Chain A
């Protein structure tokens, strides 16, 4: 009998930060890898020019491609919401994926975050421990060039030593604190609030071909100099290691084969041409909404009926006020850290963990819009722009959401894109767990404002999107109520893996992408051993 021929050892669907890191690790180990990507390559300078000439700087998707055959998530109608909340994360379609415009925050989850059910009786546990994931966290941090503090207790609980445990120092030391952050820390920190530096991917020394951040203050929507990491870095590295990136290739079907295995994927190009590709292993890395959509469209990996369910974001609220002294927000990177007293503790059996992130974006546009709305003109307008910009303070607060089966994403039954592929239908409701967290957070808001002698601009924002897509292909110990196991391998198909934040079953309160990359590197090692 002829040996079976495959188009590749591994096909990775999606070239975002998670899929590209996994592809790179496999290619480095000599495996043949194909990356299928719905979008195209776009050089950075074009995105920067698109940003500068855009009338909607407030819109983070705007400088990015938005083709009828590869629509981004802000296309009207692309996400049909049936729940109360308008769930609308800013997901992109181009080589490198959504991390082209992320905040670059790369926290580790805490050991306790991964044992939420056991310790606090709510939500779910992860099916692996922090110690098992730790070596992969380190590898992920070195791939991304994470800049962080090697001395702080990142749980916010003041252990007096670095925490959580790590097997290697951060690859890049932390940058200097902005004057704005220093002053907030001095004054608000003096009242018992725990300020932490946020680990992130804006290198401050040359790293892996990237220059040092010099404070262009534009991480979202695009870093003009490429100091901030994006998935494109490892799409290119994977290519250099021999992987092939196929852009303009939207996968619309996963084909089942014999013995519970996946046999092939089918993709369609913008010209409407279809192709079928086979491989030994398949990895779905299309992000936390598109991955479950594709599985549901293909009737794959869903014996548990959990695919697309348990959708979690770190749904949040915001605060803007003017301090009683000039702090000059807007110098340096767009964010640097925040207040972490509520990151962990017994209270988590009652209410969501809370992260108060501090924004450091140049506020002139928002300030000027407010002043014009108030009818301020002439010399006063210029004076007030300076006065308010110097005193602007902004918090972006997030909560730990719990998984609920009714919060879900499905393929739309009423709408398709230009390729004839269903768009998304989302149902998302907030719950009492984060509502109680928000009540706590608002008490903090009132204190922050009082301590800073502040004048409130906005402290009732309502729930906001935070663009962290978790839970939709969650991992667990039990095939009956989870989609993948601790390896991120489908319970139903032994050669199918998920590489996405969607595998995360307990959301903690920190940005999820680094964890997904660590898990994906771990999956790559497992796959490599089996091929």
Chain B
């Protein structure tokens, strides 16, 4: 998908208030998405840019705008300069120098300054948080983005649960997932 088409689609999703929460495992509505206001605390234009950039970097066309809002805010709160970096990244991609994520590594070799911005965006969508959570401490710079819809769970959605949601009944675990032979 081209960048401008992505931008248009993202904008449509935002302005129509459409929300899709993908990757559900147990059919339980995601609480964080459900409670988040869709009203954007950032101006619509900037936001659609961020959503489009996120779609491009994650190669996912169905990203939830509510999660995008949280990711954007978390990343800008953590780093005031984030928005500027994201704009430069977007501009560089739009300049046509990166067609899709298959070319990411060589593109980044030419734009090393943009790599960490790209990885921070991808990481927020996949891990569902920004910053570095502390395992044995109550203070850190981690910020919440998403849980059930974090992209890290999608590739295994047919095989394992998103922890705290269940995948089956007692003793289902005795058998491997049906996909075993091709895993």
Interface positions of A (Cβ within 8 A of B): 48-49, 51-59, 61-62, 66, 72, 74-76, 86, 88, 90, 175-179, 182, 204-205, 212-218, 222, 224-225, 326-328, 330-333, 361-362, 364-365, 367-369, 372, 375, 377-379, 381-383, 385-387, 389-390, 465
Is the beta-carbon distance between B126 and A381 smaller than 8 angstroms? yes
**Separation of A13 and B107 alpha carbons in the complex (Å):** 63
Between-chain CB contacts (< 8 Å), 18 pairs: A52-B31, A55-B131, A56-B134, A59-B136, A76-B139, A86-B136, A90-B136, A176-B173, A217-B161, A327-B176, A331-B161, A369-B127, A372-B123, A372-B126, A372-B127, A375-B105, A382-B155, A389-B155
Asked if A224 contacts B152 (CB within 8 A), the reply is no
**Are B183 and A386 interface neighbours, CB within 8 A?**
yes
Question: Which residues of B come within 8 Å of A, CB atoms?
Answer: 31-32, 57, 59, 100-102, 104-105, 115, 118-119, 122-123, 126-131, 133-140, 142-145, 147-148, 152-156, 159-177, 180, 183
User: In the bound complex, do residue B170 and residue A204 qualify as a contact, i.e. CB atoms below 8 Å apart?
Assistant: yes
Q: Which residues of B contact A76 (CB under 8 A)?
A: 137-139
A368-B59 contact in complex given A179-B173, A330-B160, C-beta closer than 8 Å: no
In the assembled complex, the CB of A425 is this many whole angstroms from the nearest CB of chain B, namely 17
Complex alpha-carbon distance, A368 and B155, angstroms:
11
State A61–B138 Cα separation when bound (angstroms).
Answer: 8
Given A76-B138, A390-B183; A55-B143 close (CB under 8 Å):
yes
Nearest CB on B from A228, distance (A) = 12
Closest beta carbon of chain A to B116's beta carbon, Å: 10
Interfacial chain A residues near B130, Cβ < 8 Å: 55
Report yes or no: A179 in contact with B175, Cβ–Cβ below 8 A.
yes
Instruction: Name the A residues within 8 Å of B183 (CB-CB).
Output: 326, 328, 386-387, 390
Interface hub of A225, A330, A465 (most chain B Cβ within 10 A): A330
Judging by beta carbons under 8 Å apart, are A178 and B174 in contact? yes
Chain A nearest CB from B171 CB (Å) reads 4
**CB <8 Å contact, B123 and A179:** no
CB–CB B129/A56 < 8 A: yes
What is the count of residue pairs linking A and B with beta-carbon distances less than 8 angstroms?
181
A175-B170 in contact (CB<8A):
yes
A216 x B174 contact (CB < 8 A): no
| B165 surroundings in chain A (CB, below 8 A) | 216, 224
Residues of B within 8 A of A372 (CB): 119, 122-123, 126-127
Distance from B58 Cβ to chain A, minimum over Cβ atoms (Å): 8
**A48 contact set on B, CB distance < 8 A:** 164
A62–B127 alpha-carbon span in the complex (Å): 17
Among B119, B156, B163, B170, the residue within 8 A (CB) of A218 is: B163
* Most central of B115, B123, B135 by chain A CB within 10 Å: B135
Contact pick for A390, options B59, B159, B164, CB 8 Å: B159
- Could you say which residues of chain B place their CB within 8 Å of the CB of A385? 152, 155-156
Residues in chain B near residue A52, CB distance under 8 A: 31-32, 147-148, 164
B127 near A378: Cβ-Cβ < 8 Å = no
Are A216 and B32 interface neighbours, CB within 8 A? no
Least CB distance, A328 to chain B, in whole angstroms: 6
A365 to B155, CA, bound (A): 12
With beta carbons under 8 angstroms apart, the residue of B104, B138, B140 that contacts A377 is: B104
Given A49-B31, A57-B147, 6 further pairs, Cβ under 8 A:
A53-B147, A55-B144, A56-B134, A215-B173, A379-B102, A381-B122
Question: Smallest Cβ distance from B83 to chain A, in angstroms?
Answer: 21
Q: A57-B133, A372-B122 are in contact. Are A176 and B174 (CB under 8 A)?
A: yes
By the criterion CB–CB under 8 Å, are B127 and A56 in contact? no
Complex Cα distance, B173 from A86, in Å, reads: 36
Question: What are the residues of chain B within 8 A of A365 when measuring CB–CB?
Answer: 127, 152
Docked pose: A365 CA to B148 CA in angstroms: 12
* Leading 8 A-B pairs by shortest Cβ distance: A332-B173, A378-B101, A56-B133, A55-B129, A176-B174, A326-B183, A55-B142, A368-B152
Interface residue from A75, A178, A330 paired with B138 (Cβ < 8 Å)? A75
Neighbouring B residues of A224 by C-beta, 8 Å: 164-165
Q: Whole-angstrom distance between the alpha carbons of A224 and B166 in the complex? A: 10
List the B side residues contacting A222 at CB < 8 Å.
164
By the criterion CB–CB under 8 Å, are A328 and B161 in contact? no
**Pairwise interchain contact B166-A53, C-beta atoms closer than 8 A:** no
Tell me the bound Cα distance from A216 to B118 in angstroms. Answer: 33
Q: With A217-B163, A326-B176 known to touch, is A379 a contact of B136 (CB < 8 Å)?
A: no
